């Protein structure tokens, strides 16, 4: 049976008088890859920010695994398994690649001061486990040779990989990727598509904003098309891709 993991209902967001998201509704099923496309300014990133708690919604509801989550702050959403990456990559420049990853693991005992002094063994053992896990992720994303470099020294594409690896360190149920292929060279992008599909097979759910139509068609199970702050079309990628409204938005038909 297909289980719904994320449900967005009639979500609205205004900036001043401008309606950025105008009653968007959609659902994502567990262990699927959902692509979200639309012209610049259609409201995709705003919708992302609303789902992940960076913005507060003006109206509407968001459910994650059946629970209403629209009032939760970002960090709590991350804790329940909803983790995002950023359109403009945000790596922690003056920390090493390894440190970036280690940060990702959730609820570490060493993040509480009393444990650092009174449960040193526990913290050290846990840290060793986290390092192990980080090495696996670095291996998976071909970043292992960079592990001791400052994250700020990575290339644009590597920063995207680092961000995804770091997000995976939280053991998320659902990953929200904002333009994961932007600035990534074609070979790496192909590889990234494979990685995403592998992760899906391991049980992960994805919501991906992307402008690269061939890539997003290849990676998604379902494609949603957003226009003027609403999801106006949803379906198998090949169908959505050829819909006149989509062609219009991308080929500059105007509206």
The contact set with another protein (CB under 8 A) reads 52, 54, 73-76, 78-79, 83-86, 90-95, 99, 102-104, 106-113, 116-117, 123, 127, 150, 152-153, 166-167, 169-170
C-beta closer to another protein: residue 97 or 246: 97
Question: Please, what is the minimum distance in Å from the beta carbon of residue 225 to another protein?
Answer: 26
Question: Please, what is the minimum distance in Å from the beta carbon of residue 110 to another protein?
Answer: 3
Question: Please, what is the minimum distance in Å from the beta carbon of residue 35 to another protein?
Answer: 21
Question: Please, what is the minimum distance in Å from the beta carbon of residue 149 to another protein?
Answer: 9
C-beta closer to another protein: residue 23 or 183: 183
C-beta closer to another protein: residue 156 or 214: 156
Question: Please, what is the minimum distance in Å from the beta carbon of residue 131 to another protein?
Answer: 11
HEC readout, the chain: CCCEEEEEEEEEEEECCEEEEEEEEEEEECCCEEEEECCCCCCHHHHHHHHCCCCCCCEEEEEECCEECCCCCHHHHHHCCEEECCCCCCCCCCCEHHHHHHHHCCCCHHHCHHHHHHCHHHHHHHHHHHHHHHHHHHHHCCCHHHCCCEHHHCCHHHHHHHHHHHHHCCCCCEEEEECCCCCCCHHHHHHHHHHHHHHHHCCCEEEEECCCHHHHHHHCCEEEEEECCEEEEEECHHHHHCCHHHHHHHHCCCC
C-beta closer to another protein: residue 9 or 106: 106
C-beta closer to another protein: residue 36 or 78: 78
């Amino acid at each position: 049976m297909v289980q719904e993991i994320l449900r967005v209902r009639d979500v609205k967001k205004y900036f001043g008088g401008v309606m950025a998201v105008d009653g968007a509704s959609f659902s994502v099923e567990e262990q699927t890859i959902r692509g979200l496309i639309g012209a610049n300014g259609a409201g995709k990133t705003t919708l992302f920010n609303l789902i992940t708690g960076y913005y507060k919604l003006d109206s509407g509801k968001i459910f994650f695994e059946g629970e209403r989550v629209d009032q939760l702050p970002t960090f709590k959403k991350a804790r329940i398994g909803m983790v995002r990456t950023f359109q403009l990559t945000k790596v922690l420049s003056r920390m090493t690649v390894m440190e970036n990853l280690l940060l990702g693991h959730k609820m570490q005992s060493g993040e509480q001061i009393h444990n650092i002094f009174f449960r040193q063994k526990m913290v050290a053992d846990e840290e060793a486990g986290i390092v192990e896990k980080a090495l696996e992720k670095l291996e998976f994303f071909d970043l292992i040779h960079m592990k001791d470099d400052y994250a700020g020294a990575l290339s644009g594409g590597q920063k995207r990989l680092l961000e995804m690896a770091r997000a995976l360190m939280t053991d998320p149920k659902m990953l929200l990727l904002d333009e994961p292929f932007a600035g990534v060279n074609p070979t790496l992008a192909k590889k990234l598509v494979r990685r995403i599909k592998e992760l899906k097979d391991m049980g992960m759910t994805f919501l991906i904003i992307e402008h690269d139509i061939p890539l997003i068609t290849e990676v998604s199970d379902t494609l949603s098309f957003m226009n003027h702050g609403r999801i106006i079309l949803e379906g198998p990628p090949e169908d959505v891709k050829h819909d006149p409204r989509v062609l219009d938005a991308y080929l500059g038909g105007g509206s």
